[in-house]
Amino acid sequence: MVDLLDFDYGPLRGLIGTWEGAKGMDISPEPDGVEENPFYETIVFEPAGDVENAETRTLTIVRYHQVVSRKSNDKVFHDQVGYWLWDAEESLVMQTLTIPRAVCVVAGGVYHGESEPGAVTLKVRAAQGDPDWGVVESPFMRDNARTLAFEHELRLQGDRLCYSELTRLEIYGRSFDHTDTNELTRR
Ligand code: HEM
């Protein structure tokens, strides 16, 4: 039987596992201002083997599921599924994600190697109108809560994972920087 852990996941290898963190902070839009939501979350990253595209390009795949709960009431208020993908030939890292608001993102960025031994930084971005990396959403979201751009930086060292995410929205008649950050440890 094939062991999915035997594939070469490049810089994504260290993600595989279950991560928990309770230092999360979400800044999100309200009609008349800003909402700040301290949160905790679990992210499960699983090895998913590889895929060959157009018979020429092999990508290795890490699948993830992120579940985020508000500290104030313990309710899940963000659920996200997706993949991280590694293209070794182009040194390219990609994140494809969907959130249950009818929004999907295909983000990418070049991987520049470890910043110091064992320290992996993954940076991906996407934006409306970008020729390479984009956002697709339902007509309602396009017209009322449009995602203009997405930037994600994830730093991984051993059993510690930090991320910061910026989702630029057009909502309530203005542009709003919706941000999320957290620090997690491997369970
Ligand atoms: C830890 C990650 C995230 C958390 C905790 C979070 C949480 C929130 C919260 C609390 C709101 C305010 C609206 C409401 O109360 O329902 C919101 C709005 C929104 N978020 Fe996020 N979010 C996260 C990541 C993302 C990502 C990655 C995207 C898209 C790429 C996204 C897209 C949106 C959009 C489009 C809205 C506006 C929806 C509306 O208010 O009608 N969010 N988010």
In three-state secondary structure terms, 18 is strand
Looking at the structure of the chain, the number of domains it has is: 1
d(CA 24, CA 182): 4
Whether ligand 1 lies within 6 angstroms of the CB of 69 is answered as no
Q: Is the CB of 147 under 6 A from ligand 1?
A: yes
Residues 152-187: tens digit of each pLDDT: 999 999 999 999 999 999 999 999 999 999 999 999
Burial group, residue 183, by CB count within 10 angstroms (0-12, 13-18, 19+):
middle
Residues spanned by the domain of 106: 4-186
Residue nearest to atom 28 of ligand 1 (CA): 167
CA of 47 to the centre of ligand 1 (A): 27
What does pTM read for this prediction?
0.97
Q: Determine whether the shortest distance from the Cβ of 176 to ligand 1 is under 6 A.
A: no
pLDDT at 177: 98
**Cα 150 to averaged position of ligand 1 atoms, centre (Å):** 12
Q: pLDDT tens across 91-147, in order?
A: 999 999 999 999 999 999 999 999 889 999 999 999 999 999 999 999 999 999 999
Return the best residue to mutate from 39, 72, 178, 180 for the ligand 1 pocket (most ligand atoms within 8 A of CB). 178
The domain that holds 172 is classified in CATH as: 2.40.128.20
Counting other chains too, the contacts that 45-51 makes at CB distance below 8 Å and 24 or more residues apart are 45/15, 45/16, 45/17, 45/18, 45/19, 45/84, 46/4, 46/16, 47/4, 47/5, 47/7, 47/9, 47/16, 48/4, 48/83, 49/2, 49/4, 49/7, 50/7
Asked if residues 163 and 143 have their Cβ atoms less than 8 Å apart, the reply is no
Outline where the chain has alpha helix (H). 139-144
Looking at residue 115, what is its pLDDT? 86
Counting Cβ atoms within 10 Å, is residue 98 exposed (0-12), middle (13-18) or buried (19+)?
A: middle
Q: Is 103 in the pocket of ligand 1 (CB under 6 A)?
A: yes
Which of the 8 DSSP states describes residue 2? -
Question: How far is the CA of 77 from the CAs of 5, 6, 41, 69, 94, in angstroms?
Answer: 31, 35, 10, 6, 25
